[in-house]
Amino acid sequence: VINQFIHPDVVETCQLCMGLTSLDEGSVWNSMPPHTHERRMEIYFYFEVPEDQAVFHIMGQEKETRHIVMHNEQAVISPSWSMHCGCGTHNYTFIWAMGGENKEFDDMDHIEIKNMK
Per-position DSSP letters for 26-61, written without gaps between them? T--EEEEEEEEETTEEEEEEEES--TT--EEEEEEE
What's the CATH number for 2-102? 2.60.120.10
Residue 105: what pLDDT? 59
- Report the C-alpha gap between 75 and 72 in whole angstroms: 9
Residue 106: what pLDDT? 65
| Residue, of 9 and 20, whose pLDDT is higher | 20
Residue 107: what pLDDT? 66
pTM of the model: 0.86
State residue 114 phi and psi, 5-degree precision: -65, -20
Span 16-64, pLDDT tens digits: 888 999 999 999 999 888 988 877 899 999 999 999 999 999 999 999 9
Span 69-108, pLDDT tens digits: 999 999 999 998 999 999 999 999 999 998 877 656 566 7
CB 78 within 8 A of CB 5: no
